[in-house]
Amino acid sequence: MNVKESASHVLPGCLPPEPPLETVHRASGRRGTLSLQQYVDGILHGDRTILARAITLVESSRETDRAIAEQIVEECLPHSGNSIRVGITGVPGAGKSSVIEVLGNYLISDRVKKVAVLAIDPSSKVSGGSILGDKTRMNSLSASDMAFVRPSPSRGTLGGVAQRTRETMLLCEAAGYENILVETVGVGQSETTVHDMVDFFLLISLAGAGDELQGMKRGVMELADLVAINKADGANTRAAEKARTEAQNALHYLPAALSGWTPRALTCSAQTGKGIAELWNCVIEYAVMTKSNGWFALARQNQTQKWMHEIIRECLRQRFEAHPAIKQRKDALEKEVLEGRITSFRAARDLLQTYAGISEPGST
Ligand code: GDP
C-alpha cells in the first residue's frame, strides 16, 4: 500500500477526538441530514435505506463520516451478535455467487430470518478491477426485502477492508439479519481474514480441476468446516461425487479441529438446488454442537481480541507511513539498503527510532 493511500484510509479507531453523541451528521447535502440517534433507531428498526447509508459512512474515508460511523457501530454493538456468520470461499467460477443466491433464497423462503451477504475482495485494489464485485450479482436475492446484499469495500489494504466488513456485519446484525454470509475469493490472505470473522467456513470447490488449479492449498482445506463440490448436475454428477470422496479423504488427514467438529464434504448444485438444504443443515449442526461445547462463544471472543490487535497494528502502520519525517527518511534509507551500504535491519531500526522520537509526547 502506498503512503498516499494509507494516509487517506485511516481506520475509525485511529481518529482524533470524537464529536459529541448528539452530533448531527451532514452527509452529502443531497441526501439530507441524520442524527446519530436517527441512524441507530433506523438500523435497529431494520430500515434498509438507513442501514445502507450507515455502511457508506463505515466505508468512507472522510474523517467526519468515520467519526459518526464509529459512534453508530458502538451504539449498535449491544444489539449485534445474534447471528450465524458463514464465510464462503472458492476460486472464481466455482459458483460462489450462484450458491449464495440459491442458499440465500432458501434461507428466506419461510420469511422468518433475514440474510445479509457481504464480501471481501482485495483484488479490487491490486488489479483496479474486482473479482467478486463487478458482475451484476444475486439479482433475485438482492430484490428481496428479506435480504441485504453489499459488495466488498473497494479501497484500502486487506486489513482496512476487513475492518469495514466486520463493522458492516455488526450493523447488519443489529438490523436483525440473523444469517450473515461473507464471500471472499482465494487471493492472498483474504481467506484467513474471512475465516477470522466467521463462525463457519465453507469452501466451494469443483470436480475436474486439479487442486493447484483451484487454489485449493492445504491451508484453505485446513480452514474449511465444509467442502461443497458444486455443479454436481447433469454429466458432471459422477465426477462431483468422486471429487467429494477425494475431498473427504483429504479432510480426514488434517489435524483434529479445536472446535471438536469433523469437517465434511458434500456435493451440491446451484443449478438444480440439490444439496443446498444439506449444506445449511451442516451449518446448523455445527452451530448446535459448538454452542453446547462452548467453542462458538470462545471462538468469537478470540476473534474480537484478534481484531483489536489488528486495529492497533493497522493504526500504527498508517501513522508511521503517513508521518512526513518518516516519508522523508525512508527514501534515503531504502536507497542505502538497495545499494548494499546498510542492512535492512539497521534501516528499519533507524526508522523506528526516528518514529519513537517524533511520537513521544510533546515531540510532534
Ligand atoms: P463465482 O465466480 O465463484 O461467484 O461463480 P459464479 O456463481 O459466477 O458461477 C460461475 C459459472 O458457473 C456461471 O456461469 C454459473 O452459471 C455456473 N454455475 C454456478 N453454479 C452452477 C451449478 O451448480 N451447475 C452448473 N452447471 N453451473 C453452475
Does ligand 1 come within 6 angstroms of the Cβ of 66? no
What pLDDT is recorded for position 214? 53
Ligand 1 atom closest to the Cα of residue 183 is: 4
Cβ(228)–Cβ(205) below 8 Å: yes
Interval between CA 120 and ligand 1 midpoint (Å): 19
Retrieve residue 314's grid coordinates: 493497522
> Hey, what long-range contacts does 283-290 have (CB within 8 A, 24 or more apart)?
283/84, 283/86, 283/200, 283/202, 283/226, 284/84, 286/199, 286/200, 286/225, 286/226, 286/259, 286/261, 287/84, 287/199, 287/200, 289/259, 289/260, 289/261, 290/199, 290/259, 290/260, 290/261
Spatial separation of the C-alpha atoms in residues 320 and 351, rounded to whole Å: 9
What pLDDT is recorded for position 165? 92
Q: CA geometry: angle at 45 spanning 44 and 47, to 5°?
A: 105
Interval between CA 188 and ligand 1 midpoint (Å): 22
177-189 burial by CB neighbour count: b if 16+ within 10 A, else e?
bebbbbbbbbbee
Ligand 1 atom closest to the Cα of residue 234 is: 26
Spatial separation of the C-alpha atoms in residues 61 and 179, rounded to whole Å: 28
pLDDT tens for each residue of 209-239: 665 545 455 678 889 999 999 999 999 999 9
What pLDDT is recorded for position 15? 40
Spatial separation of the C-alpha atoms in residues 235 and 251, rounded to whole Å: 26
pTM, entire model: 0.84
In order of their start, the domains of the chain are 3-78 (no CATH), 79-293 (3.40.50.300), 323-359 (no CATH)
Does ligand 1 come within 6 angstroms of the Cβ of 93? yes
| DSSP character at residue 9 | -
What pLDDT is recorded for position 240? 95
Spatial separation of the C-alpha atoms in residues 313 and 116, rounded to whole Å: 29
What residue owns the CA closest to ligand 1's atom 18?
95
Does ligand 1 come within 6 angstroms of the Cβ of 231? yes
Cβ(22)–Cβ(39) below 8 Å: no
The letter for the amino acid at 74 is E
What pLDDT is recorded for position 258? 87
Interval between CA 291 and ligand 1 midpoint (Å): 33
Interval between CA 98 and ligand 1 midpoint (Å): 6
What residue owns the CA closest to ligand 1's atom 19?
95
Does ligand 1 come within 6 angstroms of the Cβ of 233? yes
Rounded to 10 degrees, the C-alpha dihedral 221/227/231/232 comes to: 130
What pLDDT is recorded for position 20? 41
Ligand 1 atom closest to the Cα of residue 90 is: 3
Does ligand 1 come within 6 angstroms of the Cβ of 95? yes
Interval between CA 161 and ligand 1 midpoint (Å): 26
What pLDDT is recorded for position 222? 86
Spatial separation of the C-alpha atoms in residues 231 and 268, rounded to whole Å: 6
The letter for the amino acid at 120 is I
Pocket test for ligand 1, best of 91, 96, 97, 98 (most atoms within 8 A of CB): 98
Q: CA geometry: angle at 234 spanning 231 and 237, to 5°?
A: 60
What residue owns the CA closest to ligand 1's atom 24?
231
Interval between CA 64 and ligand 1 midpoint (Å): 41
Ranges under pLDDT 70 in the chain? 1-32, 123-137, 155, 186-188, 209-218, 359-364
Spatial separation of the C-alpha atoms in residues 255 and 296, rounded to whole Å: 19
- CA-nearest of 135, 105, 149 to 277 is 105
Ligand 1 atom closest to the Cα of residue 236 is: 26
Cβ(33)–Cβ(81) below 8 Å: no
Interval between CA 258 and ligand 1 midpoint (Å): 33
Map grid coordinates 467460477 to a residue.
93
